[in-house]
Amino acid sequence: MPIATTNPATGQVLKSYDPMSEEQVDAAIERADLAYRQLRDTTVAQRGRWLTAAADLLEADRDETARLMTTEMGKTYAAAKAEVTKCAAACRFYAAKAAEFLADEPADAGAVSATRAFVRYQPIGPVLAVMPWNFPLWQVMRFAAPALMAGNTGLLKHASNVPQTALLLEDLFRRAGFPEGAFTTLLVGSAEVDRVLSDPRVRAATLTGSEGAGRSIAQIAGRELKKTVLELGGSDPFVVMPSADLDRAAEVATTARCQNNGQSCIAAKRFIVHADVFDAFAERFAANMSALRVGDPMDPDTDVGPLASEGGRDEIHAQVRDAVDKGATVLCGGEPPAGPGWFYPPTVVTDLRPEMRMWSEEVFGPVAGLYRVSSYDEAVEVANGTSFGLGSNAWTRDPDEQERFAADLDAGNVFVNGMTTSYPELPFGGVKNSGYGRELSALGMREFCNTKTVWVGEGAATAGAGAHAE
């Protein structure tokens, strides 16, 4: 895949880059390793000042950064601005909370025959981050902010279609004051990942991307005995039960499917509706989807911009065609418009069956699959009947059903009467083929820490844990 910015709204290649040479990559790893030795000896307070400066810079440059993201991958300008703002908030969150998340945790010394015992969280070194294009700033930031605060350094291999956003991120952390090498962008293709992750100086990897990329990185990491966090695909269920507020559910369903032009791992993709309200929901949902305006992502009136690549657009159209050829019904959309750019209309497909690709595959664009079920148990069976387990949504005003969905949906999160989203305050990640490990919250920060047990016998200097992270 060429490393280049191609505007998905026009198909024009705007800027291309030569991949870095082996020597350049090696030098970058060396700088990351040196920077790690420097960073781990700085205080959390100092790192917090740098991360706060990064938040200030993000906010100051918001519009320009958003324009760049829209140009590189086609999200609407409004969504891109919101993404920058969210990244700044995440920086401020980790700058404020790191001391608490990294503080020594006292243990019961008496129970382990110690004078003093505690758990300490320490950085592990350079971490490789392989990232996707769909939230080109946020996906990186939700790794980078906690990792840098913990004292690790980052090596970013970003998706090949967002090189300018990748370089902007390196520049951001440098301008914010982090030491040279603390965060470096490697302009390389995915074939280089093996060599980088095999380097003994690189201690771990995080990947957000497809199942295939996850398997590949997990194999390398397994061979090299390195820790990984994998945030992979999803085919999130959105269950609507008879007691749901149908207007609200249909409104949120539309956003949940089409935000980011339908290219979100946690987009609701399968809409599983109880037969008692199926027709009423389907009518509202299809009407809302049809009403969305598709077009120039820089236009403030646009709801849905182009897909990020021609291949991505062709893939979802092939999935829709496959379903239609095997007997599915299209309630709206289903045909890409003529003309330049990789646009696809919001589409609702129903009468789906297990032999259709849409039944089991992730659909990464504004295409919703609509399923009719006749009971709570059948709703859960269809919802869990996927190899993925990232997010899930349940719409019901019945308190008993709310509790049961929270327990029964097999996913990394359950959002009841709301849309799955990510918050710095809450852990984020999946089960099954959606990956493992968690990002965000204290858990995300500790994924790339050495959770060190400290046991002190006779002659302890003080009682209780030290204030290491303060």
381 is an active site residue? no
Residue 29 or 39 with smaller CB distance to ligand NAP: 29
Structure tokens at 202: 């690189």
The residue number whose beta carbon is nearest to ligand NAP equals 209
Question: What is residue 422's DSSP assignment?
Answer: -
The label of the residue with tokens 């090189």 reads 163
- Residues 462/445, Cβ–Cβ less than 8 Å: no
Of the residues 265, 332, 439, 447, only one is catalytic, namely: 265
Enumerate binding residues for ligand NAP (CB under 6 A).
1, 130-134, 139, 157-160, 189-190, 193, 208-210, 212-213, 216-217, 231-234, 265, 362, 364, 390, 430, 434-435
361 is an active site residue? no
Q: Give Dmax over CA atoms of the chain in angstroms.
A: 78
| Nearest distance from C-beta of residue 388 to ligand NAP, angstroms | 9
Q: What angle do CA 99, 101, 104 make, to 5 degrees?
A: 80
The label of the residue with tokens 């990394």 reads 412
| Nearest distance from C-beta of residue 309 to ligand NAP, angstroms | 8
Three-state DSSP at 157 gives: strand
| Nearest distance from C-beta of residue 120 to ligand NAP, angstroms | 29
DSSP H or E stretch at residue 416: strand 415-416
Residue 38 or 216 with smaller CB distance to ligand NAP: 216
| Nearest distance from C-beta of residue 448 to ligand NAP, angstroms | 16
Dist. CA 54–CA 60, nearest whole Å: 10
Residue 234 or 262 with smaller CB distance to ligand NAP: 234
Of the residues 231, 361, 401, 447, only one is catalytic, namely: 231
Residue 184 or 288 with smaller CB distance to ligand NAP: 184
Residue 19 or 242 with smaller CB distance to ligand NAP: 19
- Residues 288/370, Cβ–Cβ less than 8 Å: no
C-beta atoms surrounding 385 within 10 Å:
16
| Nearest distance from C-beta of residue 327 to ligand NAP, angstroms | 26
Dist. CA 412–CA 403, nearest whole Å: 16
Dist. CA 172–CA 259, nearest whole Å: 26
Kindly list the catalytic residues.
231, 265
